[in-house]
């Protein structure tokens, strides 16, 4: 069936629709005219999805029967649901969600003959890179339980995609953009003049602006060359943390950060915080995974996605950071008024 635009209208299931990435993907698919279902554990905070026509299907990604019910009759599954990082969860929870979740999706796809599955992994499966830029063939080097369970889940997906299920794997870079709260603390600290760089600041990081990432997912779900493939999706540029903080400072109207501290005392403090908070089920104010942001190079080539899928990121880092900062100001998440340069320079697609 084709819509008014001539695009084939599909029945699609998106997991993780209450999260930043899954929600953005579901909204874009609905905007394109597809019939979209979203697997949800709770209907709280899904008004925007409902208004866009996304149909909620109640269920937990850990429940194989619930996933199978949600997948009945769909042609595509975009599996985005994951637990990211929180010290309040035991390792078994990461295993159940990040590894068991994709196993349930694969089994549902088999049962119902789903035409294609797109599995969301992470660039984090590569961990710290000894040579940059990395690519899809770079060695695996997961550094924490999140990355370990995402890699285990990716291997389940890859085995199925090489055997009896049609699908592709997407490894996003660091996801950001309007609607994201993950990097809000960084923007706030720089805005308030309280950011302290840990280490030299020359560590490399690679970002994926949300609109570009959503386009990458859709290409992985539709392009004839995608099945069986794995694709790193992100912008054309990777930057040092020093460059990143300067761009954020410019966007929020603050001075570029000048303070820095050595890595080792901060890492030691993170380990102590984790040890003290974990038995109490508390989120520590500092933990080693946050320190790793300042120490591990993560910079990749997106050439394979460009070559095979026609992927083309459209939002560069400066513009993406400005759009994100403007959204934070508009939502009252950053104090005060945005600088005049930000109001005048931000553009929309």
- The verdict on residue 275 lying in a domain is no
pLDDT for position 130: 86
- The verdict on residue 331 lying in a domain is no
Average pLDDT over residues 25-41: 97
pLDDT band at residue 290 under the 50/70/90 scheme = confident
pLDDT for position 344: 67
pLDDT for position 88: 64
> Domain with 90 in it: what CATH number?
3.40.50.720
- What distance in Å separates the CA atoms of residue 128 and residue 133, rounded to the nearest whole number? 11
pLDDT for position 348: 54
More confident residue, 296 or 85: 296
Q: Is the pLDDT of residue 206 over 70?
A: yes
More confident residue, 145 or 285: 145
More confident residue, 231 or 280: 231
Q: Is the pLDDT of residue 1 over 70?
A: no
The lowest-confidence range among 45-49, 126-130, 263-267 is: 263-267
pLDDT for position 4: 46
Choosing from 78, 94, 146, 209, the catalytic residue is 146
Q: Is the pLDDT of residue 349 over 60?
A: no
- The verdict on residue 280 lying in a domain is no
pLDDT for position 346: 57
pLDDT for position 271: 82
Mean pLDDT score of the chain: 92
pLDDT for position 309: 98
Q: Is the pLDDT of residue 275 over 90?
A: no
The whole domain housing 154 covers: 11-182+207-235+299-316
pLDDT for position 76: 98
Please state the length of the chain.
349
pLDDT for position 246: 97
Name the percent of the chain lying above pLDDT 90: 74
pLDDT band at residue 87 under the 50/70/90 scheme = low
pLDDT band at residue 278 under the 50/70/90 scheme = confident
Q: Is the pLDDT of residue 143 over 90?
A: no
pLDDT band at residue 205 under the 50/70/90 scheme = very high
The lowest-confidence range among 97-106, 242-251, 265-274, 332-341 is: 265-274
- The verdict on residue 252 lying in a domain is no
**146 catalytic per annotation:** yes
Name the percent of the chain lying above pLDDT 70: 94
Q: Which two tokens stand for residue 203?
A: 């560590």
Domain count of the chain? 1
What's this model's pTM, rounded to 2 decimal places?
Answer: 0.92
Q: Is the pLDDT of residue 236 over 80?
A: yes
Q: Is the pLDDT of residue 298 over 50?
A: yes
Q: What is the pLDDT of residues 155-173, one digit of tens each?
A: 999 999 999 999 999 999 9
- The verdict on residue 272 lying in a domain is no
- The verdict on residue 163 lying in a domain is yes
- The verdict on residue 279 lying in a domain is no
Q: Is the pLDDT of residue 85 over 70?
A: no
pLDDT for position 9: 85
Average pLDDT over residues 253-272: 87
- The verdict on residue 342 lying in a domain is no
């Amino acid at each position: 069936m084709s819509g008014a635009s001539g695009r084939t209208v599909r029945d699609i299931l998106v997991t993780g629709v209450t999260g930043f990435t899954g929600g953005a993907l579901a909204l874009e698919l609905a905007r394109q005219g597809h019939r979209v279902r979203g697997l949800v554990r709770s209907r709280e905070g899904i008004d925007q999805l409902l208004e866009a026509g996304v149909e909620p299907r109640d269920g937990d990604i850990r429940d194989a029967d619930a996933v199978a019910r949600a997948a009945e009759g769909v042609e595509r599954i975009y599996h985005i649901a994951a637990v990211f990082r929180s010290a309040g969860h035991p390792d078994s929870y990461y295993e159940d969600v990040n590894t068991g979740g994709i196993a349930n999706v694969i089994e549902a796809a088999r049962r119902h003959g789903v035409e294609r599955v797109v599995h969301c992994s992470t660039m984090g499966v590569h961990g710290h890179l000894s040579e940059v830029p990395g690519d899809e063939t770079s060695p695996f080097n997961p550094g924490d339980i999140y990355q370990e369970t995402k890699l285990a889940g990716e291997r389940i997906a890859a085995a199925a995609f090489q055997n009896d299920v049609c699908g592709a794997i997407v490894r996003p870079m660091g996801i950001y953009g309007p609607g994201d709260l993950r990097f809000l603390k960084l923007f706030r600290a720089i805005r308030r003049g309280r950011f302290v760089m840990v280490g030299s600041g020359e560590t490399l990081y690679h970002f994926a602006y949300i609109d570009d990432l959503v386009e990458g997912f859709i290409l992985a779900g539709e392009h004839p060359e995608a099945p069986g493939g794995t694709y790193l999706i992100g912008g054309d540029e990777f930057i040092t943390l020093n460059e990143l903080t300067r761009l954020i400072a410019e966007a929020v109207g603050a001075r570029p950060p000048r303070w820095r501290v050595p890595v080792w005392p901060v890492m030691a403090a993170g380990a102590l915080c984790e040890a003290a908070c974990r038995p109490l089920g508390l989120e520590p104010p500092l933990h080693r995974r946050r320190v790793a942001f300042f120490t591990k190079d993560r910079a990749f080539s997106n050439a394979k996605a460009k070559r095979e899928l026609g992927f083309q990121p459209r939002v560069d880092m400066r513009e993406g950071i400005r759009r994100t900062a403007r959204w934070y100001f508009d939502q009252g998440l950053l104090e005060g008024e945005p600088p005049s340069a930000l109001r005048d320079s931000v553009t929309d697609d």
